[in-house]
Structure 1
Amino acid sequence: MTLLAIDQGTTSTRAIVFDEKLRPLTKAQREFPQHFPRSGWVEHVPSDLWESTRAVMTEAAKDHRIAAIGITNQRETVVLWDRKTGEAVANAIVWQDRRTARYCDSLREDGREEAITKATGLLIDPYFSATKLKWLLDEVPDARARAEKGELAFGTVDSFLIWKLTGGTHVTDVTNACRTMLYNISKGEWDADICAMLDIPMQILPEVLDNAAEFGTTDILGYEVPILGVAGDQQAATLGQACFRPGMIKSTYGTGCFALLNTGEERVDSAHRLLTTIAYRLDGKTTYALEGSIFVAGAVVQWLRDGLGVIEDAPSTQELAGRADPEQEIVLVPAFTGLGAPWWKPDSRGAIFGLTRNTGPAELARAALQSVGFQTRDLLESMRADWSGTPDVLRVDGGMANSDPAMQFLANIIGAPVDRPEVTETTALGVAWLAGMKAGICGGMDDFAKGWALERRFDPTMKDEERDHRYALWTRAVKATISV
């Protein structure tokens, strides 16, 4: 029996078929364009998300009989669509988009953040779905009137795909709902007060289910297949890394970087501007996490390729960075769409410090890779300050985790071991396990955790003096970027 995991990301959609022992068998992937209509704006064409999903599902599953489907997705991205036609009324506004920054400022100035954080665990920021949705309702002609009549539906990408796959089932899961800035994570329901504050009609919101649940069935493969597991990409990676015990932490390096620390049944409110979120909910039992979000990780490599043209493909970044002059201390702050945790400065933009006449592509490539390690240390420093149970080992996954130099620098700059698993497709693995467990094909948490296997551990080799010096350069660079 086989399981199909759909991994709908920011720049591509993938589908992976796993066997009953959760070993990957076949994979298909399609890239699609991002659109940047103005500075700080990032959009997707929703039909690109749907068509790429349908294509990779068909390709990956063509030689297999699929028993159940799991879906994982880019979080916070907003889609608003017509309930009759299933067609979006505007482009999707991507999680990276900063167009609502001034409105978020006004909410903070009006003293709204404390109430929103108490309910949702989130800070007021354009990153989250709520203000994006409000923008669509306000700016798309007739959208608000149609929403109030019940003609439109809102969802994050998982919800939009489920609607398309099932022919009209309007649901989401708790880990996507909790990233909208509209969901009360203590009460486990949409927050009526916040919806009223932002003038969002609650009838457009989807039903919220556990991560392993019956989300509907699809016949897109030519036969009926149930969708039984759904999780936002970072929570899916937490599951895929088997971070089931309080104190376990993972960091995923995709377009952005996201570190989640399992805090168990305890909701921990951060004093250092991290996010309190839901890691997963199974059988009605909620497990919480502290999360640190970095907006630019793998995207900095894309910038080297597409923006500067200094590399032809992502893997060549390592070789280029290896030729960098060790005497040059170049620091790149990749705030292309603002700074995430723990700074939360949406209006900041990228900057490079320490340039010399001899600085070239190699030094920029090295600084780009190292920026991911520096940002991760920012997150871990805040986590350690918020929760005394923060561990000394970091589990990593995502595309950049395959870079040995990047992971070695990460271990060096955080001063702790970095563990890379044998299966780095942990987002897809996490939802495949959810679907398989719900279908009765796979075992529970204990069995899944026993199957987690280490591919390589990176131990820190940098001396404390050098580590502290380099991190001090980074901190000064970030503060200088913020002050501009």
Structure 2
Amino acid sequence: MTDKQDSERPHVSGSSTPPPEEQLPKGVHETEEELREHWYVGSIDQGTTSSRFLIFNGEGDPVASHQIEFENLYPESGWHEHDPLELLSSVNSCIEEAMRKFVTQGNHPSRIKSVGITNQRETTVVWDKNTGEPLYNAVVWPDTRTTQFVRDLKARPGADKLQDLCGLPLSTYPSSVKLLWLLEHIPAVKEAHEKGTLCFGTVDSWLIYKLNGGPSHPSGGIHVTDGTNASRTMFMNLHTLQYDEELLKWFGIDTSKISLPKIVPSSSATDFGTVTEGVLKGIPIAGCLGDQSSALVGQCGFSPGQAKNTYGTGCFLLYNVGTKPVISKCGLLATVAYDFGGGRKPVYALEGSIAVAGAGVKFLMSNLGFIDHSSKIQDLAESVPDNGGVVFVTAFSGLFAPYWIDDAKGTLFGITQHTKKGHIARATLEATCYQTKAILDAMEKDSGHKLESLAVDGGLTNSDLCMQTQADISGIQVDRPAMRETTALGAAIAAGLATGVWNELEDLRGVNQAGRKVFKPKLEKAERDKMFEKWSQAVEMSRGWVRESTA
């Protein structure tokens, strides 16, 4: 960056005053609303299949964006990895291109007030504290290489007490078991552990660390995370929002040998540092939320009883339970919804996770060649009037909440000579809807309240057929916003709250409310129950496919 460009570096004060070169003529004043319209917030959205950078205005509308898909690696059956350096480079490339579009529209870079980050949560990254280089590929959240490892852990004394402390059951899902696997199997990780130079983090920690300059930073590297991401490790006490000595001891984590990221609020003007290079140099990173919490924030689900479901690669349903965690008795996860600091209490959620949603559509496209683009799934599904008796249990990585069946495999039932591609397409969409209903039923039991409406977002919500099917199967109305970039918006909201773009949650009540479409149930309860009973039968029959032979 030249000296001139550096002198025009974006203004990052916490005040609402525009930088000097852009102040209004003397005597001309903007209202608070007009002033906020002049501020913008950037949002890094780092997902399972792509990275994106979006820029939102003070009304919560996206004005520029760029997206890059990257390679997903599957070195062995059940293994799922990313190259951490490719994640970083894809983020940087998205920032550069989105900012180019932003400036082309006539906007000044100094109007970017701050940047938020939202990320895939349990995906685990390990790197060396001295070099800042990754020691292995990132192990992605649906990876199932730890299946046997988890079974062994479940047999250890105290395993049944963990969920009361951290909110999560033992499964292949959390980042804790991924870290233990890396420590046991990867020589470079073992070596760094013995030397005391091993850094552990989820994708948010990795990106924040590198965007701040890594080990070249004066502090030696900003190594932080927020409660929404830390609550997915099984190392954090859900009640204190700090690492728990009992949990660390149970997993055998020695913090003198492993550097864990410091847990800070999800919204902070200082804790996440600033971008040190590129077009955003000097801009504060002021927000951090795991992707599903970020989507709840982007849907403005700030009141207890509100819920959202994100239909992405997987499917994730969060239900706001207020300022006290609810430990599920029905197979759900207890997690941090958001922690905005500033004297506000952290807010918790019940969560149900489905491993395969959009990934099922991609399977039909990439593996079976049913369609040449995911957007054509609705046309294929509508080529037949119903599923023709086909039920598809899409347990490619086992089944998550509320079942937690780790020995299931993807299984098609009801195939006859009558079966066509359209029937399987419908059954693929229905699989996500059935699993969502199972989670909703569990949430009703845990919370004692039945939801009246479900806010939705994510790629699969583009299908009216899928959303109507969801309403029919679940028996509640489905509420879809016109602007569906809710995950990225949530991170922008967290950053904007920390830097004066918005002052309080009340300022956000009208964000993303225009143009919403509501899908109301059309099926009778008896028919809905009959369909769900058939689905439940298929789930039971899918068990046991990865058990070792005893012969």
Match in the other structure for 1:412: 472
Task: Give the whole-Å Cα distance in 1 for the aligned partners of 2:435 and 2:544.
Answer: 18
Match in the other structure for 2:276: 219
**1:230 alignment partner, SS class:** strand
Deviation at 1:401, TM superposition (A): 1.2
Match in the other structure for 1:246: 304
Is 1:256 aligned with 2:314?
yes
Contact 2:457 2:481 in 1 (8 A): yes
Match in the other structure for 1:388: 448
Task: Give the whole-Å Cα distance in 2 for the aligned partners of 1:235 and 1:413.
Answer: 25
Contact 2:60 2:512 in 1 (8 A): no
Contact 2:387 2:423 in 1 (8 A): no
Paired AA for residue 248 in structure 2:
C
Contact 2:387 2:424 in 1 (8 A): no
Match in the other structure for 2:52: 14
Is 1:44 aligned with 2:77?
no
> Larger radius of gyration, structure 1 or 2?
2
Deviation at 1:443, TM superposition (A): 3.6
Is 1:73 aligned with 2:111?
no
Task: Give the whole-Å Cα distance in 2 for the aligned partners of 1:192 and 1:103.
Answer: 22
Aligned partner (choices 220, 223, 243) of residue 170 of structure 1? 223
Match in the other structure for 2:23: none
Paired AA for residue 212 in structure 1:
S
Task: Give the whole-Å Cα distance in 1 for the aligned partners of 2:51 and 2:382.
Answer: 31
Match in the other structure for 1:466: 527
Aligned partner (choices 184, 192, 197) of residue 151 of structure 1? 197
**1:436 alignment partner, SS class:** helix
Paired AA for residue 136 in structure 2:
A
**1:431 alignment partner, SS class:** helix
Paired AA for residue 173 in structure 2:
Y
Q: How many residues align?
A: 484
Match in the other structure for 2:327: 269
Deviation at 1:195, TM superposition (A): 2.0
TM-score in terms of structure 1 length: 0.97
Deviation at 1:243, TM superposition (A): 0.7
Gaps of 5+ in 2: 1-38, 214-220, 546-551
Match in the other structure for 1:92: 138
Contact 1:248 1:390 in 2 (8 A): no
Residues 23-46 of structure 1, C-alpha deviations (whole Å, 9 max, x = no match): 100110011111111111111111
Distance 1:4 1:291, change over 3 A: same
Task: Give the whole-Å Cα distance in 2 for the aligned partners of 1:188 and 1:372.
Answer: 32
Match in the other structure for 2:168: 122
Aligned partner (choices 247, 250, 256) of residue 194 of structure 1? 247
User: Which one is further off, 378-387 or 327-336?
Assistant: 327-336
**2:339 alignment partner, SS class:** strand
Task: Give the whole-Å Cα distance in 1 for the aligned partners of 2:229 and 2:324.
Answer: 19
Match in the other structure for 1:180: 233
Is 1:101 aligned with 2:147?
yes
Which contiguous aligned blocks of 4+ residues in structure 1 show a shift greater than 4 angstroms? Answer: none
Contact 1:261 1:390 in 2 (8 A): no
Match in the other structure for 2:32: none
TM-score in terms of structure 2 length: 0.86
**1:79 alignment partner, SS class:** strand
Match in the other structure for 1:26: 64
Match in the other structure for 1:230: 288
**1:450 alignment partner, SS class:** coil
Contact 2:429 2:466 in 1 (8 A): yes
Is 1:375 aligned with 2:435?
yes
Task: Give the whole-Å Cα distance in 1 for the aligned partners of 2:450 and 2:148.
Answer: 35
Residues 116-144 of structure 1, C-alpha deviations (whole Å, 9 max, x = no match): 11110100011100010011112111423
Task: Give the whole-Å Cα distance in 1 for the aligned partners of 2:386 and 2:132.
Answer: 55
Deviation at 1:96, TM superposition (A): 0.4
Is 1:210 aligned with 2:265?
yes
Contact 2:434 2:473 in 1 (8 A): yes
Task: Give the whole-Å Cα distance in 2 for the aligned partners of 1:148 and 1:390.
Answer: 51
**1:376 alignment partner, SS class:** helix
Task: Give the whole-Å Cα distance in 2 for the aligned partners of 1:187 and 1:23.
Answer: 35
Contact 1:77 1:93 in 2 (8 A): yes
**2:41 alignment partner, SS class:** strand
Contact 1:4 1:61 in 2 (8 A): no
Is 1:356 aligned with 2:356?
no
Task: Give the whole-Å Cα distance in 1 for the aligned partners of 2:542 and 2:154.
Answer: 22
Task: Give the whole-Å Cα distance in 2 for the aligned partners of 1:111 and 1:465.
Answer: 44
Paired AA for residue 528 in structure 2:
R
Residues 133-183 of structure 1, C-alpha deviations (whole Å, 9 max, x = no match): 011112111423422433121110000000110012111111000001111
Task: Give the whole-Å Cα distance in 1 for the aligned partners of 2:144 and 2:120.
Answer: 16
Contact 1:171 1:209 in 2 (8 A): yes
Deviation at 1:483, TM superposition (A): 4.7
Residues 423-450 of structure 1, C-alpha deviations (whole Å, 9 max, x = no match): 2111100011111111101242112123
Is 1:480 aligned with 2:518?
no
Contact 1:147 1:201 in 2 (8 A): no
Q: Report percent identity of matched pairs.
A: 42
Contact 2:163 2:169 in 1 (8 A): yes
Contact 1:136 1:143 in 2 (8 A): yes
Task: Give the whole-Å Cα distance in 2 for the aligned partners of 1:221 and 1:123.
Answer: 41
Is 1:315 aligned with 2:361?
no
Deviation at 1:353, TM superposition (A): 0.6
Residues 173-206 of structure 1, C-alpha deviations (whole Å, 9 max, x = no match): 1100000111111122112222222222324101
Residues 263-305 of structure 1, C-alpha deviations (whole Å, 9 max, x = no match): 1012211111111111111225211111001000010011011
